[in-house]
C-alpha cells in the first residue's frame, strides 16, 4: 500500500486524540472537559489551532512548489510579518472593534501580506528563476523592514500594546476577544476554498516546481497561475495572522514532514500537510499551555522547534550541493 | 513546419539575434551550430516562445500559424523542449518526471490514463533510462538526468522537438543513442528536431540540415557537406580546421 494512504489510517484517529488533548490541557493540568465555561474558551482555541495549522501548512506547501524552493515559507518570506504589520496598523487606527475588526483588520492584513510577498518575489527574481539564496535574503530584508515598522507602531501604541505583542508572538487565545469568533468561520471558509483550489492545481504545482521555462513548455500559463497560487497562499496567511498573529515555521516544517511520507506530488502532499499542520499546531498549543506555570505564546514553541529543523534542511542542502 | 523571417532579438542594448531567416520542413534533424554567445540559446528560446516579445522583431510561424498566437497549452501539444540546465528542487522519481510530459493532455484533476503510462514507459526505454524509473531525480548523475528529461520531452509526443545541447553530460554511448533516436523519430514519425550542438562531428554525422550562427547572424545554412567547410568555420571559430570524411558513413567530419 502507498505510504501516504497508510499514514491516513493512523492520522485520522490521531487527529481525534489531538483535539481531545487540546480541549483537555490547561495551565492547571489536564481535565475539565465537563466544565462548559472552560470549554467555551477552549473550543474556539482548538478550532483556531486546527485552522491556523492547516492554513499555514497548506500555504507553505504551495509556496514551496510554486517558487520551486523548498525553503519557502510564509514566515521566512516576510508574508506573515507584512500581514502582522497590517493587523497592527488596523489596531492602531482603532479598527479592531465592531465592523472594523471584522473587515478592516483582515483586509489590512491581506494587503500588507501581499505587498510583502510581491516585494520578495520581485527582489529575488534572477531572470526567470527564483534561486533559493536570493529568496531567503529578500525575505530577511522584507522581514527587517516590517519589523522596524511594527516597532514604530509599538512605540506609538497606547492601550493596544498588549494585543500587538500577542499578535507578534503568535497566540491562539483569541487575541481580539470573542467578538472575532465569527471570523473563525470566515477564516475556515478561506482556508477550505484556497486549499481546495491549490489541491485542484496539484499537477500544475508539480510542473511549476520544475521552474518557469519547463513549466511553460509543458503547457502552463506560468505568470497567471503563479499569481493565483501566491494570492491563495497569502490570503490564507493573512486570515491566520489576523486571528492568531505570527506563528512561524509551521509552513516550513509541516510540508517537509509530509513530503517525507507522501513524496513531492502536490495532490498527495497538500491534504497530508493540512491535516498534519492542524494536528501539530494544536499539540504545540497544548504544550504551550502546560509546559510552564505561565502560558507561553505558541509562536515561541513553533519557532523553537522550527529553527533546528531549518538548520537541518540548510545543512542537507549544502551537502547535496544544490 | 517552422518558418522564421527576419528574426531579431535584443537584450537591452545587446543584439543577440540579427535578421535571422530560415525555413525547416518536417521530418528533418536540424543542427544549430555556433561558438559560445553566438545566439543559439536565444534562438532556441525564441522558437520555444519563451522570450519576452518586447525585445523581438520578425516572424516565427509553426505549421503556418504565428507562434505568438499559440496559448502555452496548445504549443505544448506541438512542441517539446529540453533546456540546458535541469535543476530539481524536489525528489520526484524519474518516472514521475517523465509522466509530467503527459500533462498537456490531461485536465487538472484527471489521473493519468493507461495510455499515458504506456507512452511514458516507452519513452524511458527509448532513452535507456527505464531502470532508473523509481530513483529520486536528484540522486541521478547529470547524464542520467539528461536522459530522463529527454524522455519527458518524448512522452509529450509532439511533432517538433527543440533540444538545447541534449548531449551535454552524456557519454559517447548515450550521445550516439540519443541522436540516433532523434533520427529515427524523424524518419518514422516525421518529427522535426532542432538540436543545439557544440560537437561539429555529431552534427555532421546525424543532421540533415545545419544552421551556423555567429554574433547573432545566420552566416550559413545547408547540408552538413555545404556548411562544414574550412571557409565557413575558420572565420566563425577563429581557428584553422580541416575537413575529412568518416571512413564508414562518408559523412563530413571536422578536425583541428
**Tens of pLDDT, residues B7-42:** 999 888 888 999 999 999 999 999 999 999 899 989
pTM: predicted TM-score of the whole model, two decimal places: 0.90
β-pair partners for B193: B29, B161
Residues in chain B with CB shorter than 8 Å from the CB of A321 are none
Residues in chain B with CB shorter than 8 Å from the CB of A273 are none
Query: Which cell goes with B112?
Result: 493519468
Q: In Å, how far are A128, A134, A211, A233, B219 from A222, measured between CA atoms? A: 11, 20, 10, 16, 35
Whether complex ipTM tops 0.90: yes
pLDDT at position A321, please?
46
Percent of chain B, pLDDT > 90?
79
Q: Which of B92, B103, B138 sits opposite A219 (nearest CB)?
A: B103
Query: Which cell goes with A281?
Result: 499546531
Give the pLDDT mean for B116-144: 94
Q: Which of B48, B80, B89 sits opposite A209 (nearest CB)?
A: B89
pLDDT at position A310, please?
82
Give the pLDDT mean for B113-139: 95
pLDDT at position A164, please?
85
Contact residues for A168 (Cβ-Cβ < 8 A; gap 6+): A84, A88, A150, A245, A246, A299
Interface probe, candidates A218, A259, A273, chain B, greatest B C-beta count within 10 A: A218
Q: Do residues A270 and A61 touch, judged by C-beta distance below 8 A?
A: yes
Nearest to A88 by CA among A63, A71, A112: A112
Which of A101-110, A242-251, B56-65, B68-77 has the lowest average pLDDT? Answer: A101-110
**Could you tell me how many CB contacts below 8 A there are between chain A and chain B?**
83
**Tens of pLDDT, residues A202-261:** 999 999 999 888 999 999 998 889 889 988 998 999 889 988 989 989 999 999 999 999
pLDDT at position B168, please?
83
| pLDDT means over runs of 10, chain A (322 residues) | 83 90 76 73 90 96 90 86 91 72 80 90 76 80 92 87 84 69 86 96 95 92 87 90 90 93 94 96 91 86 89 73 45
A202–B109: do the CB atoms touch at under 8 Å? yes
Asked if A221 has any chain B CB less than 8 Å from its own CB, the reply is yes
Interface probe, candidates A70, A72, A214, chain B, greatest B C-beta count within 10 A: A214
* Rounded Cα gap, residues A150 and A128, in angstroms: 32
* Rounded Cα gap, residues A211 and A194, in angstroms: 22
**Count of C-beta atoms within a 10 Å radius of residue A290:** 18
Percent of chain B, pLDDT > 70?
100
Q: Which residue of B has its CA nearest to A204?
A: B108
Amino acid at each position: 500500500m502507498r505510504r501516504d494512504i497508510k499514514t491516513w489510517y493512523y492520522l485520522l484517529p490521531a487527529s481525534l486524540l489531538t483535539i481531545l488533548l487540546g480541549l483537555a490541557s490547561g495551565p492547571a493540568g489536564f481535565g475539565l472537559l465537563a466544565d462548559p465555561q472552560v470549554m467555551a474558551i477552549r473550543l474556539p482555541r482548538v478550532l483556531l489551532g486546527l485552522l491556523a495549522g492547516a492554513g499555514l501548512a497548506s500555504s507553505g506547501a504551495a509556496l514551496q512548489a510554486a517558487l520551486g524552493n523548498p525553503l519557502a515559507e510564509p514566515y521566512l518570506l516576510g508574508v506573515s510579518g507584512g500581514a502582522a504589520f497590517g493587523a497592527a496598523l488596523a489596531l492602531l487606527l482603532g479598527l479592531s472593534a465592531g465592523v472594523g475588526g471584522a473587515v478592516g483588520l483582515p483586509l489590512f492584513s491581506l494587503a500588507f501580506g501581499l505587498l510583502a510577498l510581491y516585494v520578495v518575489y520581485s527582489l529575488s527574481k534572477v531572470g526567470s528563476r527564483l534561486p533559493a539564496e536570493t529568496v531567503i535574503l529578500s525575505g530577511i530584508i522584507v522581514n527587517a523592514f516590517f519589523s522596524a515598522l511594527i516597532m514604530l507602531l509599538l512605540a506609538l501604541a497606547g492601550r493596544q500594546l498588549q494585543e500587538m505583542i500577542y499578535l507578534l508572538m503568535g497566540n491562539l487565545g483569541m487575541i481580539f476577544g470573542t467578538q472575532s469568533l465569527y471570523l473563525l468561520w470566515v477564516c475556515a471558509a478561506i482556508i477550505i476554498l484556497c486549499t481546495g483550489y491549490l489541491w485542484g492545481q496539484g499537477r500544475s504545482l508539480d510542473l511549476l516546481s520544475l521552474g518557469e521555462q519547463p513549466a511553460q513548455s509543458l503547457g502552463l500559463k506560468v505568470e497567471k497561475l503563479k499569481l493565483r497560487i501566491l494570492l491563495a497562499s497569502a490570503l490564507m496567511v493573512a486570515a491566520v495572522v489576523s486571528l492568531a498573529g505570527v506563528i512561524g515555521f509551521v509552513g516550513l516544517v509541516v510540508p517537509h514532514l509530509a513530503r517525507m511520507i507522501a513524496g513531492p506530488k502536490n495532490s498527495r502532499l497538500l491534504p497530508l500537510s493540512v491535516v498534519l499542520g492542524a494536528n501539530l499546531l494544536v499539540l504545540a498549543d497544548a504544550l504551550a499551555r502546560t509546559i510552564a506555570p505561565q502560558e507561553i505564546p505558541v509562536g515561541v514553541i513553533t519557532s523553537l522547534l522550527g529553527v533546528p529543523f531549518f538548520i537541518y534542511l540548510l545543512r542537507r542542502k549544502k551537502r547535496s550541493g544544490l | 513546419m517552422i518558418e522564421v523571417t527576419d528574426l531579431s532579438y535584443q537584450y537591452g542594448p545587446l543584439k543577440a539575434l540579427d535578421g535571422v531567416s530560415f525555413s525547416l520542413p518536417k521530418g528533418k534533424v536540424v543542427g544549430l551550430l555556433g561558438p559560445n554567445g553566438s545566439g543559439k540559446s536565444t534562438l532556441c528560446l525564441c522558437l520555444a516562445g519563451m522570450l519576452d516579445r518586447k525585445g523581438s522583431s520578425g516572424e516565427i510561424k509553426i505549421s503556418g500559424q504565428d507562434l505568438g498566437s499559440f496559448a502555452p497549452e496548445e504549443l505544448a501539444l506541438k512542441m517539446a523542449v529540453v533546456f540546458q540546465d535541469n535543476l530539481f528542487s524536489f525528489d520526484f522519481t524519474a518516472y514521475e518526471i517523465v509522466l509530467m510530459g503527459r500533462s498537456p493532455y490531461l485536465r487538472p484533476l484527471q489521473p493519468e490514463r493507461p495510455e499515458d503510462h504506456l507512452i511514458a514507459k516507452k519513452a524511458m526505454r527509448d532513452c535507456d533510462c527505464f531502470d532508473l524509473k523509481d530513483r529520486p531525480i536528484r540522486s541521478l548523475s547529470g547524464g542520467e538526468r539528461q536522459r530522463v528529461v529527454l524522455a519527458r520531452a518524448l512522452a509529450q509526443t509532439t511533432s517538433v522537438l527543440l533540444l538545447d545541447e541534449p548531449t551535454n553530460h552524456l557519454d559517447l554511448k548515450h550521445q550516439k543513442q540519443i541522436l540516433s533516436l532523434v533520427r529515427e523519430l524523424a524518419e518514422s514519425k516525421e518529427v522535426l528536431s532542432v538540436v543545439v550542438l557544440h560537437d561539429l562531428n555529431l552534427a555532421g554525422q546525424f543532421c540533415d540540415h545545419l544552421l551556423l550562427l555567429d554574433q547573432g547572424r545566420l552566416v550559413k545554412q545547408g547540408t552538413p557537406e555545404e556548411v562544414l567547410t574550412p571557409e565557413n568555420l575558420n572565420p566563425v571559430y577563429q581557428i584553422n580546421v580541416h575537413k575529412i570524411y568518416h571512413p564508414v558513413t562518408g559523412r563530413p567530419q571536422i578536425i583541428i
